[in-house]
Structure 1
Amino acid sequence: MTDQDDNSKAQAEQLDFIRPFLNQFRGDGVKLSSEPVWAERMEEILANLEPEILDDITSRIRQSSENQIIDFDAFGTAHNLTPAEIKMLDSIVGGLSVPEHAAAHNIAVNTARVHMQRVLEKTGSNRQTDLLRKVFGR
């Protein structure tokens, strides 16, 4: 294997490590990865990073993340959450309020409140802070 092959393999591994973190970034309450044009742009930017910059980004994420990527689907399955309730949970973890979630997903605020209430009930949480502790395993 050549040095170029080794570098390509290392870059691919770094990109695979970074992607889940990028998938949690939001703009106006919507995951950037859920918007095809933004997902494509993120991939384009990553593919064109200098190796030293990619190394630095990967290192910083590793140091700060401590494996804090949340598997919303697994959490949702464990608590029997619907897809709408998982979206609500994702928004709350991302820092949105219930009304902000409603606006970002074009649903009525009352509908979002019902989703939030069901998430709390299904997870056995009394408040959103309790819910966040469960999501982050604390």
Structure 2
Amino acid sequence: MADDKKQPKHKDGQVDYIRPFLNQFRGDGVKISSEPVWAERVEEIMANLPDDTLDDIVSRLRQSSENQFIDFAAFGEAHGLTPAETRLVDSIAGGLSVPEHAEANDISVNTARVHMQRVLEKTGSKRQTDLLRKVFGH
């Protein structure tokens, strides 16, 4: 019986490790974690995976993401960014342009440009490439 209690805890730990990576994954340009239906489906799939499969996924994520996983919330907090500015940084790091971010987030391009200007000021970056170097730690 002790093993039965350990397995769900182990599985929960594996799922907890994988969950933040959902913020990095996109489907049709939209974060999977931002779409409740997608996020629920991924949670359902993960809950039904065998432990050895979850172990393999976690192992592969650890290997492939060393120094690549970006905690955008922590980056935003460290630089005094607002949630909207942090979302913009996440979008830019994910390959979207400022106008594409504006469209995806249902804001005006001018608003997104103001956010970008504030992000550059707060992070001490002169241009977006400087910002991306800071985000990716280069």
Relative to the length of structure 2, the TM-score reads 0.88
Matches within 5 A, 1:109-128: 109-128=109-128
8 Å CA contact 2:22, 2:31 repeated in 1:
no
Q: Determine the C-alpha separation between the residues in 2 that align with 1:70 and 1:63.
A: 15
Matches for 1:1-138 after TM superposition, within 5 Å: 2-138=2-138
Specify which structure has the bigger relative contact order, considering alpha-carbon pairs within 8 angstroms and separated by 6 or more residues: 1
Aligned alpha-carbon RMSD (Å): 1.7
Please give the per-residue CA displacement for 1:19-39, whole angstroms capped at 9, x wherever unaligned. Answer: 111232122333211221111
In the alignment, the residues of structure 2 paired with residue 21 and residue 76 of structure 1 have an alpha-carbon distance, to the nearest angstrom, of 17
Letter in 1 for 2:49: L
Q: Measure how far apart 1:91 and its partner are.
A: 0.5
| Cα contact 1:29–1:91 (8 A) shared by 2 | no
Moved over 4 A (4+): none
Please report how far the alpha carbon of residue 67 of structure 1 lies from its aligned counterpart in structure 2 after TM superposition: 5.0
Paired residue type of 2:115 = H
**Is the CA contact (8 Å cut-off) linking 2:88 and 2:101 kept in structure 1?**
yes
Unaligned runs of 5+ in 1: none
Of residues 79-88 and 68-77 in structure 1, the stretch that sits farther from structure 2 once superposed is 68-77
Q: Look up the SS of the partner of 2:24 in the other structure.
A: coil
Deviation digits for residues 34-81 of structure 1, max 9, x if unmatched? 221111111101001122221211110011111533222222222221
Q: Secondary structure at the match of 2:137?
A: coil
TM-score (norm 1): 0.88
Residue pair 1:28, 1:104 contacting (<8 A) in 2 also = no
Give, in whole Å, the separation in 2 of the partners of 1:94 and 1:14.
25
- Structure 2 alignment gaps of length 5 or more: none
